[in-house]
Structure 1
Amino acid sequence: MTSLPVVGAAMTLQDLEVHRDWLIQKPRDLELQSFIEAETLNGDWRPLADRTRKLLDGFSGRLGIHGPFWGFVINSQDPDIRAVVAKRLDQALEVCAAVGANQIVIHSPYTTWSFNNLDNNAGERERVIENTHLTLKAAVKRAEDMGCTMVIENIEDKDPLDRVRLAESFNSPAVAVSIDTGHAHYAHGSTGAPPVDYYVKAAGNLLQHIHLQDADGYADRHWALGEGTVNWRAVFSALSQLESNPRLIIEIKDKSKIPASVAYLAALGLAE
Protein backbone atom coordinates (compact mmCIF):
# COMPACT_ATOMS: atom_id res chain seq x y z
CA MET A 1 0.00 0.00 0.00
CA THR A 2 1.51 3.32 -1.07
CA SER A 3 -0.94 5.79 0.49
CA LEU A 4 -2.66 6.08 3.86
CA PRO A 5 -5.11 3.16 3.94
CA VAL A 6 -8.84 3.60 4.51
CA VAL A 7 -10.17 1.39 7.30
CA GLY A 8 -13.51 -0.42 7.25
CA ALA A 9 -15.39 -2.44 9.84
CA ALA A 10 -17.24 -5.65 10.66
CA MET A 11 -20.91 -5.14 11.46
CA THR A 12 -24.27 -6.81 11.68
CA LEU A 13 -27.13 -5.26 9.77
CA GLN A 14 -28.28 -3.59 12.99
CA ASP A 15 -24.84 -2.02 13.39
CA LEU A 16 -24.86 -0.98 9.75
CA GLU A 17 -28.06 1.00 10.25
CA VAL A 18 -26.30 2.99 13.00
CA HIS A 19 -22.95 3.50 11.25
CA ARG A 20 -24.09 3.72 7.63
CA ASP A 21 -23.21 7.41 7.21
CA TRP A 22 -19.69 6.78 8.55
CA LEU A 23 -19.27 3.79 6.24
CA ILE A 24 -20.23 5.52 3.02
CA GLN A 25 -18.37 8.80 3.62
CA LYS A 26 -15.21 7.11 2.29
CA PRO A 27 -14.63 3.89 0.29
CA ARG A 28 -14.57 1.83 3.49
CA ASP A 29 -14.71 -1.97 3.27
CA LEU A 30 -17.47 -3.82 5.10
CA GLU A 31 -17.65 -7.31 6.53
CA LEU A 32 -21.22 -8.35 7.24
CA GLN A 33 -21.66 -10.62 10.25
CA SER A 34 -25.38 -11.35 10.05
CA PHE A 35 -25.04 -14.65 8.16
CA ILE A 36 -23.00 -16.72 10.61
CA GLU A 37 -25.65 -18.69 12.48
CA ALA A 38 -26.91 -22.03 11.17
CA GLU A 39 -30.47 -20.99 12.04
CA THR A 40 -30.12 -17.99 9.73
CA LEU A 41 -28.60 -19.97 6.85
CA ASN A 42 -31.20 -22.75 7.16
CA GLY A 43 -34.04 -20.24 7.31
CA ASP A 44 -35.37 -17.59 4.98
CA TRP A 45 -32.46 -15.14 4.87
CA ARG A 46 -33.61 -13.47 1.64
CA PRO A 47 -35.29 -10.56 3.48
CA LEU A 48 -31.95 -9.89 5.22
CA ALA A 49 -30.26 -9.85 1.82
CA ASP A 50 -32.84 -7.41 0.49
CA ARG A 51 -32.32 -5.19 3.52
CA THR A 52 -28.55 -5.36 3.01
CA ARG A 53 -28.78 -4.14 -0.58
CA LYS A 54 -31.00 -1.21 0.45
CA LEU A 55 -28.69 -0.18 3.29
CA LEU A 56 -25.68 -0.31 0.97
CA ASP A 57 -27.09 2.12 -1.57
CA GLY A 58 -24.18 4.54 -2.11
CA PHE A 59 -21.60 2.14 -0.65
CA SER A 60 -18.30 2.27 -2.57
CA GLY A 61 -16.06 -0.11 -0.60
CA ARG A 62 -15.52 -3.85 -0.91
CA LEU A 63 -18.12 -6.15 0.61
CA GLY A 64 -17.49 -9.45 2.35
CA ILE A 65 -19.17 -11.64 4.94
CA HIS A 66 -17.99 -13.65 7.89
CA GLY A 67 -18.76 -17.25 7.09
CA PRO A 68 -20.28 -19.80 9.47
CA PHE A 69 -17.93 -21.44 11.96
CA TRP A 70 -19.84 -22.47 15.10
CA GLY A 71 -19.61 -26.14 15.99
CA PHE A 72 -17.19 -27.42 13.37
CA VAL A 73 -13.66 -27.38 11.96
CA ILE A 74 -12.77 -27.34 8.28
CA ASN A 75 -10.40 -30.31 8.54
CA SER A 76 -12.68 -32.91 10.13
CA GLN A 77 -11.76 -36.56 9.54
CA ASP A 78 -15.46 -37.47 9.67
CA PRO A 79 -17.04 -37.41 6.18
CA ASP A 80 -20.48 -36.68 7.63
CA ILE A 81 -19.12 -33.60 9.40
CA ARG A 82 -17.35 -32.53 6.21
CA ALA A 83 -20.68 -32.73 4.40
CA VAL A 84 -22.28 -30.36 6.92
CA VAL A 85 -19.39 -27.89 6.61
CA ALA A 86 -19.58 -28.05 2.82
CA LYS A 87 -23.30 -27.29 3.04
CA ARG A 88 -22.70 -24.28 5.29
CA LEU A 89 -20.07 -22.88 2.94
CA ASP A 90 -22.37 -23.37 -0.03
CA GLN A 91 -25.06 -21.46 1.86
CA ALA A 92 -22.57 -18.69 2.56
CA LEU A 93 -21.71 -18.48 -1.13
CA GLU A 94 -25.43 -18.20 -1.88
CA VAL A 95 -25.54 -15.21 0.47
CA CYS A 96 -22.54 -13.65 -1.28
CA ALA A 97 -24.28 -13.98 -4.62
CA ALA A 98 -27.43 -12.41 -3.21
CA VAL A 99 -25.79 -9.38 -1.58
CA GLY A 100 -22.88 -8.86 -3.98
CA ALA A 101 -20.09 -9.89 -1.60
CA ASN A 102 -16.84 -11.33 -2.90
CA GLN A 103 -15.03 -12.44 0.24
CA ILE A 104 -15.81 -14.95 3.01
CA VAL A 105 -13.91 -15.24 6.28
CA ILE A 106 -13.44 -18.84 7.46
CA HIS A 107 -11.60 -20.18 10.51
CA SER A 108 -8.21 -21.88 10.57
CA PRO A 109 -8.06 -25.56 11.54
CA TYR A 110 -4.79 -25.13 13.45
CA THR A 111 -4.82 -25.16 17.25
CA THR A 112 -2.32 -24.63 20.03
CA TRP A 113 -2.19 -28.43 20.30
CA SER A 114 -1.32 -28.63 16.61
CA PHE A 115 1.90 -26.70 17.10
CA ASN A 116 3.33 -29.33 19.43
CA ASN A 117 1.89 -32.39 17.72
CA LEU A 118 1.82 -31.94 13.95
CA ASP A 119 5.28 -33.48 13.74
CA ASN A 120 4.64 -36.05 16.47
CA ASN A 121 2.76 -38.43 14.16
CA ALA A 122 4.02 -39.17 10.67
CA GLY A 123 1.92 -37.55 7.96
CA GLU A 124 -0.17 -35.42 10.32
CA ARG A 125 0.59 -32.14 8.54
CA GLU A 126 -0.44 -33.69 5.25
CA ARG A 127 -3.65 -35.10 6.76
CA VAL A 128 -4.75 -31.65 7.96
CA ILE A 129 -4.33 -30.30 4.45
CA GLU A 130 -5.94 -33.33 2.81
CA ASN A 131 -9.02 -33.21 5.05
CA THR A 132 -9.34 -29.48 4.48
CA HIS A 133 -9.24 -30.01 0.72
CA LEU A 134 -11.91 -32.71 1.00
CA THR A 135 -14.11 -30.26 2.93
CA LEU A 136 -13.55 -27.16 0.79
CA LYS A 137 -13.17 -28.66 -2.69
CA ALA A 138 -16.66 -27.84 -3.96
CA ALA A 139 -16.75 -24.43 -2.26
CA VAL A 140 -13.40 -23.43 -3.73
CA LYS A 141 -14.55 -24.36 -7.23
CA ARG A 142 -17.78 -22.41 -6.84
CA ALA A 143 -15.93 -19.44 -5.33
CA GLU A 144 -13.55 -19.43 -8.31
CA ASP A 145 -16.50 -19.35 -10.69
CA MET A 146 -18.06 -16.48 -8.73
CA GLY A 147 -14.90 -14.43 -8.32
CA CYS A 148 -15.14 -14.85 -4.55
CA THR A 149 -12.27 -15.49 -2.12
CA MET A 150 -12.27 -17.46 1.12
CA VAL A 151 -9.75 -16.00 3.57
CA ILE A 152 -8.52 -18.27 6.38
CA GLU A 153 -8.39 -16.45 9.72
CA ASN A 154 -5.99 -17.40 12.52
CA ILE A 155 -7.74 -18.51 15.71
CA GLU A 156 -5.29 -20.40 17.95
CA ASP A 157 -2.52 -20.54 15.32
CA LYS A 158 0.90 -20.37 17.00
CA ASP A 159 2.92 -20.82 13.80
CA PRO A 160 1.78 -18.12 11.37
CA LEU A 161 3.10 -20.13 8.42
CA ASP A 162 0.83 -23.16 8.88
CA ARG A 163 -2.19 -21.31 7.55
CA VAL A 164 -0.18 -19.75 4.74
CA ARG A 165 0.98 -23.18 3.55
CA LEU A 166 -2.60 -24.42 3.71
CA ALA A 167 -3.83 -21.53 1.55
CA GLU A 168 -0.96 -22.03 -0.90
CA SER A 169 -1.80 -25.74 -1.24
CA PHE A 170 -5.03 -24.88 -3.06
CA ASN A 171 -3.16 -22.96 -5.77
CA SER A 172 -6.35 -20.99 -6.29
CA PRO A 173 -7.27 -17.28 -6.32
CA ALA A 174 -10.30 -18.31 -4.27
CA VAL A 175 -8.22 -19.13 -1.16
CA ALA A 176 -6.13 -16.55 0.69
CA VAL A 177 -5.14 -15.55 4.22
CA SER A 178 -6.75 -13.44 6.94
CA ILE A 179 -5.19 -12.22 10.18
CA ASP A 180 -6.98 -11.33 13.39
CA THR A 181 -4.65 -9.03 15.35
CA GLY A 182 -6.20 -9.88 18.71
CA HIS A 183 -5.95 -13.62 18.09
CA ALA A 184 -2.31 -13.24 17.06
CA HIS A 185 -1.62 -11.06 20.12
CA TYR A 186 -3.27 -13.66 22.38
CA ALA A 187 -1.08 -16.39 20.83
CA HIS A 188 1.99 -14.18 21.31
CA GLY A 189 1.24 -13.35 24.93
CA SER A 190 -0.17 -16.67 26.09
CA THR A 191 1.41 -19.41 23.96
CA GLY A 192 4.77 -18.00 22.89
CA ALA A 193 3.84 -17.20 19.28
CA PRO A 194 5.62 -14.38 17.45
CA PRO A 195 4.22 -10.83 17.60
CA VAL A 196 1.42 -9.63 15.36
CA ASP A 197 3.59 -7.99 12.72
CA TYR A 198 5.33 -11.35 12.15
CA TYR A 199 1.95 -12.80 11.16
CA VAL A 200 1.64 -10.05 8.55
CA LYS A 201 5.14 -10.72 7.23
CA ALA A 202 4.52 -14.49 7.12
CA ALA A 203 1.30 -14.02 5.11
CA GLY A 204 2.90 -11.66 2.64
CA ASN A 205 0.81 -10.94 -0.44
CA LEU A 206 -1.49 -13.86 0.33
CA LEU A 207 -2.95 -11.56 2.99
CA GLN A 208 -6.27 -10.19 1.73
CA HIS A 209 -8.10 -9.44 4.97
CA ILE A 210 -7.28 -8.38 8.52
CA HIS A 211 -9.43 -8.04 11.63
CA LEU A 212 -8.20 -5.04 13.60
CA GLN A 213 -8.91 -5.43 17.30
CA ASP A 214 -6.89 -4.54 20.37
CA ALA A 215 -6.17 -6.95 23.19
CA ASP A 216 -3.85 -7.64 26.11
CA GLY A 217 -2.20 -10.87 24.98
CA TYR A 218 -4.27 -12.91 27.41
CA ALA A 219 -7.76 -13.21 25.88
CA ASP A 220 -9.78 -12.47 22.75
CA ARG A 221 -10.76 -9.00 23.95
CA HIS A 222 -12.00 -7.24 20.81
CA TRP A 223 -11.26 -3.92 22.47
CA ALA A 224 -11.27 -0.62 20.62
CA LEU A 225 -7.93 0.23 19.04
CA GLY A 226 -5.69 1.95 21.57
CA GLU A 227 -7.22 0.19 24.58
CA GLY A 228 -4.81 -2.76 24.52
CA THR A 229 -1.14 -3.46 23.87
CA VAL A 230 -0.97 -4.38 20.15
CA ASN A 231 1.97 -2.58 18.53
CA TRP A 232 0.02 -0.84 15.77
CA ARG A 233 3.02 0.97 14.33
CA ALA A 234 4.75 -2.37 13.75
CA VAL A 235 1.59 -3.90 12.26
CA PHE A 236 1.04 -1.06 9.79
CA SER A 237 4.71 -0.90 8.92
CA ALA A 238 4.49 -4.57 7.90
CA LEU A 239 1.26 -3.90 6.00
CA SER A 240 2.90 -1.05 4.10
CA GLN A 241 5.26 -3.55 2.45
CA LEU A 242 2.40 -5.49 0.83
CA GLU A 243 0.90 -5.12 -2.62
CA SER A 244 -2.19 -7.28 -1.96
CA ASN A 245 -4.24 -4.39 -0.54
CA PRO A 246 -5.91 -6.40 2.26
CA ARG A 247 -9.25 -5.27 3.63
CA LEU A 248 -8.61 -3.56 6.98
CA ILE A 249 -11.64 -4.42 9.09
CA ILE A 250 -12.17 -3.08 12.60
CA GLU A 251 -13.80 -5.91 14.56
CA ILE A 252 -14.57 -4.79 18.11
CA LYS A 253 -17.26 -5.62 20.65
CA ASP A 254 -18.38 -2.04 21.29
CA LYS A 255 -19.37 -0.84 17.83
CA SER A 256 -19.93 2.68 19.15
CA LYS A 257 -16.12 2.92 19.38
CA ILE A 258 -15.50 2.24 15.69
CA PRO A 259 -15.05 5.96 14.85
CA ALA A 260 -12.77 6.39 17.88
CA SER A 261 -10.65 3.46 16.73
CA VAL A 262 -10.21 5.08 13.33
CA ALA A 263 -9.38 8.40 15.00
CA TYR A 264 -6.72 6.61 17.05
CA LEU A 265 -5.08 5.22 13.90
CA ALA A 266 -5.35 8.61 12.23
CA ALA A 267 -3.65 10.30 15.20
CA LEU A 268 -0.75 7.86 14.79
CA GLY A 269 -0.62 8.68 11.08
CA LEU A 270 -1.37 5.08 10.14
CA ALA A 271 -4.81 5.06 8.52
CA GLU A 272 -7.99 7.05 8.04
Structure 2
Amino acid sequence: MTSRPILGAALCRSSLAAHVDWLREAPRDLELQHFVDAEVLEGDWSGLAAEVNQLLDGHQGRRGIHGPFWGFTIASYDPEVRRIVARRMDQALDVCAAVNGTHVVIHSPFTTWGYNHRGLYPTDTDRMLSAARDTLGGALKRAEDMGVTFVLENIEDIEPSDRAMLCEALGWQALELSVDTGHAHYSHVSTGAPPVDFYVRAAGSRLGHIHLQDADGFADRHWQIGHGTILWQSVFSAIAHTGANPRLILELRDKAGVLPSAAYLKEMGIAE
Protein backbone atom coordinates (compact mmCIF):
# COMPACT_ATOMS: atom_id res chain seq x y z
CA MET A 1 0.00 0.00 0.00
CA THR A 2 1.31 3.44 -0.96
CA SER A 3 2.23 5.91 1.75
CA ARG A 4 0.80 8.74 -0.34
CA PRO A 5 -2.69 9.95 0.58
CA ILE A 6 -5.56 8.30 -1.27
CA LEU A 7 -7.99 10.49 -3.17
CA GLY A 8 -11.76 10.24 -3.12
CA ALA A 9 -14.52 12.22 -4.80
CA ALA A 10 -17.81 14.02 -4.41
CA LEU A 11 -20.31 12.46 -6.80
CA CYS A 12 -23.98 12.77 -7.64
CA ARG A 13 -26.54 10.27 -8.82
CA SER A 14 -25.69 10.73 -12.48
CA SER A 15 -21.93 10.27 -11.98
CA LEU A 16 -21.65 7.66 -9.24
CA ALA A 17 -22.02 4.54 -11.39
CA ALA A 18 -19.27 5.67 -13.78
CA HIS A 19 -16.77 5.91 -10.90
CA VAL A 20 -17.62 2.82 -8.86
CA ASP A 21 -14.70 0.75 -10.16
CA TRP A 22 -12.27 3.58 -9.31
CA LEU A 23 -13.81 3.92 -5.85
CA ARG A 24 -13.34 0.20 -5.23
CA GLU A 25 -9.75 -0.07 -6.45
CA ALA A 26 -8.51 1.46 -3.17
CA PRO A 27 -10.21 2.56 0.06
CA ARG A 28 -11.32 5.82 -1.58
CA ASP A 29 -13.52 8.16 0.42
CA LEU A 30 -16.81 9.21 -1.11
CA GLU A 31 -19.10 12.17 -0.61
CA LEU A 32 -22.65 11.92 -1.89
CA GLN A 33 -24.11 15.12 -3.30
CA HIS A 34 -27.61 13.75 -3.83
CA PHE A 35 -29.10 15.16 -0.65
CA VAL A 36 -28.31 18.89 -0.45
CA ASP A 37 -31.68 20.15 -1.66
CA ALA A 38 -34.62 20.72 0.67
CA GLU A 39 -36.95 19.14 -1.88
CA VAL A 40 -35.02 15.87 -1.60
CA LEU A 41 -34.85 15.95 2.19
CA GLU A 42 -38.56 16.71 2.46
CA GLY A 43 -39.47 13.89 0.10
CA ASP A 44 -39.05 10.11 0.14
CA TRP A 45 -35.34 9.60 -0.44
CA SER A 46 -35.28 6.03 0.86
CA GLY A 47 -35.20 4.52 -2.64
CA LEU A 48 -32.25 6.71 -3.57
CA ALA A 49 -30.37 5.66 -0.43
CA ALA A 50 -31.03 1.99 -1.18
CA GLU A 51 -29.81 2.50 -4.75
CA VAL A 52 -26.60 4.06 -3.46
CA ASN A 53 -25.96 1.23 -1.01
CA GLN A 54 -26.50 -1.42 -3.67
CA LEU A 55 -24.23 0.35 -6.14
CA LEU A 56 -21.48 0.73 -3.53
CA ASP A 57 -21.42 -2.89 -2.41
CA GLY A 58 -17.77 -3.71 -1.70
CA HIS A 59 -16.70 -0.09 -1.30
CA GLN A 60 -14.13 0.16 1.54
CA GLY A 61 -13.58 3.91 1.86
CA ARG A 62 -15.25 6.30 4.24
CA ARG A 63 -18.60 7.55 3.08
CA GLY A 64 -20.50 10.73 3.83
CA ILE A 65 -22.80 13.38 2.45
CA HIS A 66 -22.73 17.06 1.69
CA GLY A 67 -25.33 18.48 4.02
CA PRO A 68 -27.95 21.06 3.11
CA PHE A 69 -26.87 24.70 2.86
CA TRP A 70 -29.00 26.56 0.33
CA GLY A 71 -30.65 29.70 1.70
CA PHE A 72 -29.49 29.68 5.31
CA THR A 73 -26.64 30.00 7.77
CA ILE A 74 -25.99 27.79 10.78
CA ALA A 75 -25.86 30.96 12.93
CA SER A 76 -28.99 32.87 11.99
CA TYR A 77 -30.12 35.53 14.47
CA ASP A 78 -33.74 34.62 13.70
CA PRO A 79 -35.01 31.86 16.04
CA GLU A 80 -37.56 30.64 13.48
CA VAL A 81 -34.81 30.17 10.90
CA ARG A 82 -32.68 28.35 13.47
CA ARG A 83 -35.50 25.87 14.00
CA ILE A 84 -35.70 25.18 10.27
CA VAL A 85 -31.93 24.73 10.02
CA ALA A 86 -31.91 22.39 13.02
CA ARG A 87 -34.52 20.27 11.23
CA ARG A 88 -32.37 20.19 8.09
CA MET A 89 -29.42 18.96 10.18
CA ASP A 90 -31.57 16.19 11.62
CA GLN A 91 -32.71 15.22 8.13
CA ALA A 92 -29.07 15.10 7.00
CA LEU A 93 -28.27 12.73 9.86
CA ASP A 94 -31.20 10.51 8.85
CA VAL A 95 -29.73 10.27 5.37
CA CYS A 96 -26.21 9.72 6.70
CA ALA A 97 -27.43 6.76 8.75
CA ALA A 98 -29.25 5.28 5.75
CA VAL A 99 -26.16 5.37 3.48
CA ASN A 100 -23.71 4.22 6.18
CA GLY A 101 -22.05 7.62 6.26
CA THR A 102 -19.61 9.02 8.79
CA HIS A 103 -19.47 12.71 7.83
CA VAL A 104 -21.76 15.59 6.94
CA VAL A 105 -20.39 18.76 5.34
CA ILE A 106 -21.83 22.02 6.67
CA HIS A 107 -20.95 25.59 5.74
CA SER A 108 -19.15 28.21 7.80
CA PRO A 109 -21.20 31.24 8.91
CA PHE A 110 -18.27 33.68 8.67
CA THR A 111 -18.57 36.33 5.98
CA THR A 112 -16.44 38.99 4.32
CA TRP A 113 -18.84 41.60 5.69
CA GLY A 114 -18.45 40.27 9.22
CA TYR A 115 -14.66 40.24 8.96
CA ASN A 116 -14.49 43.83 7.77
CA HIS A 117 -16.82 45.06 10.53
CA ARG A 118 -15.11 43.39 13.49
CA GLY A 119 -14.96 45.64 16.51
CA LEU A 120 -17.74 47.94 15.37
CA TYR A 121 -20.37 45.72 16.99
CA PRO A 122 -18.67 44.11 20.01
CA THR A 123 -21.49 41.65 20.74
CA ASP A 124 -21.51 40.07 17.27
CA THR A 125 -19.13 37.20 18.04
CA ASP A 126 -21.02 36.13 21.16
CA ARG A 127 -24.29 36.46 19.31
CA MET A 128 -23.04 34.27 16.46
CA LEU A 129 -21.72 31.61 18.84
CA SER A 130 -24.99 31.56 20.75
CA ALA A 131 -26.99 31.19 17.53
CA ALA A 132 -24.74 28.39 16.25
CA ARG A 133 -24.98 26.58 19.58
CA ASP A 134 -28.77 26.81 19.52
CA THR A 135 -28.93 25.59 15.91
CA LEU A 136 -26.47 22.71 16.12
CA GLY A 137 -26.65 21.55 19.73
CA GLY A 138 -29.19 18.78 19.25
CA ALA A 139 -27.71 17.56 15.97
CA LEU A 140 -24.18 17.47 17.39
CA LYS A 141 -25.28 15.32 20.33
CA ARG A 142 -27.10 12.97 17.99
CA ALA A 143 -24.13 12.84 15.60
CA GLU A 144 -21.79 11.98 18.45
CA ASP A 145 -24.05 9.11 19.47
CA MET A 146 -24.12 7.90 15.85
CA GLY A 147 -20.36 8.13 15.30
CA VAL A 148 -20.88 10.81 12.64
CA THR A 149 -18.81 13.98 12.33
CA PHE A 150 -19.95 17.34 11.01
CA VAL A 151 -17.11 18.94 9.04
CA LEU A 152 -17.21 22.74 8.91
CA GLU A 153 -16.19 24.04 5.49
CA ASN A 154 -14.73 27.49 4.81
CA ILE A 155 -16.85 29.61 2.48
CA GLU A 156 -16.06 33.35 2.69
CA ASP A 157 -13.68 32.90 5.62
CA ILE A 158 -10.77 35.35 5.55
CA GLU A 159 -9.23 34.37 8.89
CA PRO A 160 -8.37 30.62 8.77
CA SER A 161 -8.66 30.20 12.56
CA ASP A 162 -12.24 31.50 12.86
CA ARG A 163 -13.91 28.12 12.37
CA ALA A 164 -11.66 26.53 14.98
CA MET A 165 -12.75 29.23 17.40
CA LEU A 166 -16.39 28.42 16.72
CA CYS A 167 -15.81 24.68 17.12
CA GLU A 168 -13.91 25.27 20.35
CA ALA A 169 -16.87 27.24 21.67
CA LEU A 170 -19.11 24.30 20.81
CA GLY A 171 -16.74 21.90 22.55
CA TRP A 172 -15.61 20.13 19.36
CA GLN A 173 -18.61 17.89 19.90
CA ALA A 174 -18.82 15.77 16.72
CA LEU A 175 -17.03 18.54 14.83
CA GLU A 176 -13.95 18.67 12.63
CA LEU A 177 -12.64 21.22 10.17
CA SER A 178 -12.94 21.11 6.41
CA VAL A 179 -10.92 23.13 3.92
CA ASP A 180 -12.23 23.84 0.44
CA THR A 181 -9.19 24.70 -1.65
CA GLY A 182 -11.10 26.76 -4.21
CA HIS A 183 -12.90 28.78 -1.55
CA ALA A 184 -9.61 29.46 0.21
CA HIS A 185 -7.96 30.47 -3.07
CA TYR A 186 -10.83 32.83 -3.84
CA SER A 187 -10.50 34.39 -0.39
CA HIS A 188 -6.74 34.74 -0.87
CA VAL A 189 -6.86 36.37 -4.29
CA SER A 190 -10.07 38.38 -4.05
CA THR A 191 -10.37 39.35 -0.38
CA GLY A 192 -6.81 39.40 0.96
CA ALA A 193 -6.83 36.14 2.94
CA PRO A 194 -3.74 33.94 3.34
CA PRO A 195 -2.91 31.27 0.71
CA VAL A 196 -4.59 27.88 0.67
CA ASP A 197 -1.88 26.05 2.59
CA PHE A 198 -2.35 28.44 5.54
CA TYR A 199 -5.96 27.22 5.88
CA VAL A 200 -4.76 23.63 5.94
CA ARG A 201 -2.05 24.31 8.53
CA ALA A 202 -4.44 26.31 10.69
CA ALA A 203 -6.78 23.31 10.89
CA GLY A 204 -3.96 21.15 12.30
CA SER A 205 -4.91 17.80 13.76
CA ARG A 206 -8.61 18.80 13.58
CA LEU A 207 -8.49 18.61 9.77
CA GLY A 208 -11.07 15.98 8.88
CA HIS A 209 -11.97 16.77 5.31
CA ILE A 210 -10.78 18.64 2.22
CA HIS A 211 -12.64 19.61 -0.94
CA LEU A 212 -10.05 19.55 -3.70
CA GLN A 213 -10.88 21.83 -6.61
CA ASP A 214 -8.83 24.14 -8.76
CA ALA A 215 -9.68 27.79 -9.38
CA ASP A 216 -8.31 31.13 -10.53
CA GLY A 217 -9.02 33.02 -7.30
CA PHE A 218 -11.75 35.14 -8.85
CA ALA A 219 -14.68 32.77 -8.35
CA ASP A 220 -15.65 29.34 -7.03
CA ARG A 221 -14.70 27.48 -10.19
CA HIS A 222 -14.54 23.80 -9.15
CA TRP A 223 -12.20 23.20 -12.06
CA GLN A 224 -10.25 20.04 -12.81
CA ILE A 225 -6.97 19.90 -10.87
CA GLY A 226 -4.23 21.57 -12.91
CA HIS A 227 -6.59 23.92 -14.75
CA GLY A 228 -6.28 26.73 -12.19
CA THR A 229 -3.54 28.45 -10.23
CA ILE A 230 -3.51 26.66 -6.86
CA LEU A 231 -0.04 25.49 -5.80
CA TRP A 232 -0.76 21.84 -5.10
CA GLN A 233 2.65 20.89 -3.76
CA SER A 234 2.21 23.43 -0.96
CA VAL A 235 -1.30 22.16 -0.20
CA PHE A 236 -0.23 18.53 0.16
CA SER A 237 2.88 19.47 2.12
CA ALA A 238 0.59 21.31 4.53
CA ILE A 239 -1.69 18.27 4.79
CA ALA A 240 1.28 16.10 5.73
CA HIS A 241 2.39 18.72 8.26
CA THR A 242 -0.94 18.44 10.14
CA GLY A 243 -0.50 14.72 10.80
CA ALA A 244 -4.23 14.34 10.16
CA ASN A 245 -5.96 11.81 7.90
CA PRO A 246 -8.60 13.94 6.17
CA ARG A 247 -11.06 12.72 3.58
CA LEU A 248 -9.57 14.01 0.31
CA ILE A 249 -12.60 14.72 -1.84
CA LEU A 250 -12.26 15.84 -5.46
CA GLU A 251 -15.25 18.18 -5.72
CA LEU A 252 -15.47 19.19 -9.38
CA ARG A 253 -18.24 20.85 -11.33
CA ASP A 254 -17.58 18.54 -14.30
CA LYS A 255 -17.33 15.01 -12.94
CA ALA A 256 -15.53 13.93 -16.12
CA GLY A 257 -12.51 15.66 -14.57
CA VAL A 258 -12.30 13.38 -11.52
CA LEU A 259 -10.09 10.68 -13.03
CA PRO A 260 -7.83 13.14 -14.92
CA SER A 261 -7.44 15.15 -11.69
CA ALA A 262 -6.46 12.01 -9.80
CA ALA A 263 -3.99 11.14 -12.54
CA TYR A 264 -2.51 14.66 -12.42
CA LEU A 265 -1.87 14.49 -8.67
CA LYS A 266 -0.50 10.97 -8.98
CA GLU A 267 1.91 12.10 -11.70
CA MET A 268 3.07 14.87 -9.36
CA GLY A 269 3.85 12.13 -6.84
CA ILE A 270 1.69 13.62 -4.09
CA ALA A 271 -1.46 11.46 -4.03
CA GLU A 272 -2.94 8.22 -5.31
Does the alignment reach a TM-score above 0.5? yes
TM superposition outliers: structure 1 runs of 4+ over 4 Å = none
Is 1:242 the counterpart of 2:242? The answer is: yes
Given that 2:104 and 2:150 are in contact with CA atoms closer than 8 Å, whether structure 1 keeps it comes out as yes
Letter matched to residue 18 of structure 2: V
The 2-side partners of 1:260 and 1:119 are apart by: 46
Q: Report the equivalent of 1:112.
A: 112
- Which residue in 1 is equivalent to 2:155? 155
The answer on whether the counterparts of 1:31 and 1:65 sit within 8 Å (CA) in structure 2 is yes
The residue identity in structure 2 corresponding to 1:104 is: V
3-state SS in 2 of match to 1:197: helix
Q: Which amino acid aligns with 1:33?
A: Q
Match of 1:127 in 2: 127
> Which whole-Å CA distance do the structure 2 matches of 1:100 and 1:119 have between them?
44
Structure 2 CA distance for aligned equivalents of residues 101 and 117 of structure 1: 38
Pair 173,246 (structure 1): closer, same or farther in 2 beyond 3 Å: farther
In structure 2, runs of 5+ residues without a counterpart are none
Aligned partner of 1:177 in structure 2 is: 177
Unpaired stretches in structure 1, ≥5 consecutive residues: none
Whether the 8 Å contact between 1:151 and 1:176 is mirrored in structure 2 is yes
Deviations 1:91-149 (A, max 9, x none): 00000111110100000000111111132211211211111011001000100110100
Q: Aligned pair 1:100/2:100, yes or no?
A: yes
Contact 1:119 1:125 in 2 (8 A): no
> Which residue number corresponds to residue 23 of structure 2?
23
Shift in Å, 1:219: 0.4
Normalised TM-score (structure 1): 0.98
Report Cα offsets for 1:167-201 as digits up to 9, x if no partner.
Answer: 12222340111010000000000000000000001
Matched residue, 1:192: 192
> Which sits farther off after the overlay, 110-119 or 34-43?
110-119
Which residue number in structure 1 is paired with residue 261 of structure 2? 261
Equivalent position amino acid for 1:75 in 2 = A
1:143 alignment counterpart: 143
Count of residues paired in the alignment:
271
Q: Name the SS for the 2:85 alignment partner.
A: helix
In the alignment, the residues of structure 2 paired with residue 242 and residue 112 of structure 1 have an alpha-carbon distance, to the nearest angstrom, of 26
* CA RMSD after TM alignment: 1.0
Q: What's 2:5 paired with? A: 5
TM-score by length of 2: 0.98
Q: Distance in 2 between matches of 1:260 and 1:12?
A: 18
Cα distance in 1 between the residues matched to 2:127 and 2:117: 13
In the alignment, structure 1 residue 228 sits paired with structure 2 residue 222: no
Using the aligned pairs only, state the percent identity.
56
